[in-house]
Each structure stands twice: as C-alpha cells, then as structure tokens.
Amino acid sequence: MLMNRIALFRDLLAQTREGYSLPQAFYTSSEVFSADIDRIVSRKWLVAGHVSQVAGKGDYFLFKVAGEQILVVRENADSVRAFYNVCRHRGSAVCTAESGNARVLVCPYHAWSFNLDGSLLSARLMPEDFDKAANGLHPCHVRLFHGFIFVNLSEDEPDDFDATFGELDPILDYHGFAGAKVAHVGRYPTAANWKLVVENFLECYHCTPAHPEFCSMHPTEALLAVGGGPSSGPQEAVEKYAPVLAAWEQQAEALGRPIYSIDDGPESTHLRAMIQRTIREGFLTETQDGQPASSLMGKRTDWDLGRMHVSFSPFSHVVADSDFAMLFRFTPRGAMQTDVDVTWLVDGAAVDYDVEKMTWAWHTTTLQDQKITEDNQAGILSSRYQPGRFSTQERALVTFQQWYLRHHDHA
C-alpha cells in the first residue's frame, strides 16, 4: 500500500506544472485524499467552532472531519475539552446528537458513562481486573484563542500554537471575538474536493462573473488587487491600489485599529494570511444597502469603513466588518465531499441585530460558490480535463499549491 502511494505521488508530482491547476487525481483520488488527511489535515490546528456554542457546563457539539467525530464539551467555567466520540467499550458513538447538554456523557449502547473531563465514571459488570483509569475517552488536542476553539488530531506533539498564531493577537483582540456570540450558522455541504473549495476562496478572478452581490459592496480596484487575499491579484493592480489602501489605513489606525498584514509563504506550517482593506465608498458594512445589521463589535468606537480577512489556515478563515463577522470552515469529509460552514458572529452585548440583513451577502455568495465549485468538480471528472493555466488574478493559488505539494514531497 505504501509503495503504491509513493509511486502514485511520484507520478503526479512529475505531471504537476507551476502556474497550472493540479492533475486530475489530486481532486478525485481516494488514495490522495487519505494522504491529505494523514499528512496535512490531521496535523493542522482547525477551528471547530466558537466558545459561545458551549457557554454552559455540559454544553457540547460534534466537529466532523474526514472519518472522525470530535466531541467538544464545556467541562467547567475554565475548561473546554475535546475527545474522539468513541466509547472505550466497543466503539459506539457516545453522543449521537449534533449538539446538546449533558451532566454526564453516557454511551447509548451499554450505558458506560464518562465525566466531562473524559474519565470513565461507570461501567457495569466488568471483570475485577478491569482498569477504569485506562478507559477514559481518547483526548484530542484543543486550544481556545480569542473565543475560537481549535482542535488538532495529531498523535504527536502538534505545531506550537502560540508560535503559529500569536501574531494575530492584536487584531483578534480589537475585534472582540472572545466576547462575541453566534447569531446564525449556515451549512453548505459541497460535492467537491477540499482543494477546489480552498482554491475558489483564494481567488477573485471568478468574482465578477459569479458574485454580483458580493461585488456590489466592494471597490473594483480592491477586488482586482487583493480580492482573494494578499498577493492574489496582478502586481500592477496591487501597486495602483496601494495609495488608496494607505490613506484608509491611516484613518483606521487613528480610530484605534491595529494596522498590519500577514502573508505566509509556502514554507510556513499553516499558510496564514491577514489583510485589511476598504469596502465600497459610502458603505459602513457588507450589507445590501451598506447600513449596519448590528452594533459595533469589540473595541471600536466608530465605523472605520473597512473589513478584515484572517486565514488561520486554508481550512479556517474569519472575515470581519465593523458590526459582524463570519467564520468560514472548509472541512474535508471525503475525496469529493467538503463541509462548508459559515458562522455569523456579533458582539456579545448586541441585542437588536438583523440576521437576514447580515447574512444576505455571504449566504448568497456561498450558495453561488457551492454551485460553481461543484460544477468545477464535475468538469474535472471528464476524460478531457487537463490542468489549465492560472490568470494573473490567481497568484495566491500558486502559493497554496506549493504549500500543499510540500507536504507530499516524500509521500
């Protein structure tokens, strides 16, 4: 099996050309998908959700990735835990609901019960030499960071969390994510390989033909230069937009906004990115009419007429306006199946927020992305598919592919 995988990747890497989309098997093969899970997905810090989803003791939800179910549960006021949702008796799922509250975690099969710290509480009629202490739930690495719950499925010591994400501390603090709350969750399961979902999110070459609603809220020059994130557009467009961006940054910084950016290269562990930029002139936020859908978030004292995009990794992103934010999660589930989830967040003190207004843009855009990405996958399945050359507005895809392929150099 290992030799077959090595031969497969040796052949695929030989076919790969920089500046072109990947060979077909990278987007379709179950063997490639398994390698992606082993070498990339299971070793990265993934955002499973927001801490407001487990506000009370015993609150829990399931985070599903590939073939795993991770049980995220509030142990007490100071601790959130994560476990594999697998009973230590005969392997049944312990929690079968997507979310809920439990004083004790009880397996529905044979009633083994577990404390919220994962330790085994009770197992009926077991032999005298049975060791309860050795039969707790299998833990998963978990970290809380400004309200976001990160999990890591690595069996070894994972990448140092603070070294990886500490640089994001000032901007996440400013936006007030630790004290935010969930306003709405949208689920858009997509019949496409996870790399197609990510590649679509990292370029704005498709924005004009596919997303008229999204484009209506943004300056054309910004979408061309950095619409898919830093380094996503043509260099001349980036240079032309730079004076506009610099003028806005000066105004936003005067209002207290931390101004800096992050643009990781392919040698990085998580391919982080962070960009802040203008929205359409006259718009306070990303809504249909540009008017607020909620109260100001975090430490803001006024509307700064901008937005932020943070990529924790290709799998987890946050886009934030002055009054609400969106957490995007792209979770691989199968070779051609990806869970796309969008969680809208508002300030923890917000009361009269308008869910329909704040979700209009990205609900519409994500439905459009679901359709075009599934169409992309359908076309790639054709015998006539050949890797196509990227445009100058898809520069970020070169970086993403270099980052991705680096993980498979010795597959």
Q: Are 144 and 208 in the same domain? A: no
- The answer as to whether 385 is a domain residue is yes
Overall domain count for the chain: 2
Q: Are residues 110 and 227 in the same domain?
A: no
Q: Which two tokens stand for residue 28?
A: 């379709």
Query: Domain check: are 240 and 338 in the same one?
Result: yes
d(CA 286, CA 39): 37
Spans of the chain below 70 pLDDT: 1-3, 410-411
Tell me how far apart the alpha carbons of residues 308 and 203 are, in angstroms, rounded to a whole number. 16
Backbone angles phi, psi at 328, to 5 degrees: -105, 130
9 lies in some domain? no
Q: What is the pLDDT of residue 5?
A: 82
Tokens linked to 366: 């994500």
Q: What is the pLDDT of residue 409?
A: 84
Residue pLDDT, tens place only, 363-387: 999 999 999 999 999 999 999 999 9
Question: Does any domain span residue 17?
Answer: no
Q: How confident is the model at residue 39, as a pLDDT?
A: 96
- The pLDDT value given to residue 241: 97
* pTM for the structure as a whole: 0.96
- Of 135, 152, 169, the one marking the end of a domain is 152
Same domain, 137 and 173: no
Please give the residue range of the domain that contains residue 237: 161-406
Q: What integer pLDDT is reported at residue 342 of this predicted model?
A: 98
Take residue 377 and report the two structure tokens written for it: 């996958």
276 & 362 share domain: yes
The answer to whether the Cα torsion of 34, 38, 39, 45 is positive or negative is positive
**What local confidence, expressed as pLDDT, does residue 356 receive?**
98
In one-letter notation, the amino acid at residue 297 is: M
Both 107 and 169 in a single domain? no
What confidence tens digit (pLDDT) does each residue in 135-169 have?
999 999 999 999 999 999 999 999 999 999 999 99
Residue 13 lies in a domain: no
Q: Please tell me whether residues 262 and 336 are part of one structural domain.
A: yes
Contact present, 46 and 311 (Cβ < 8 Å): no
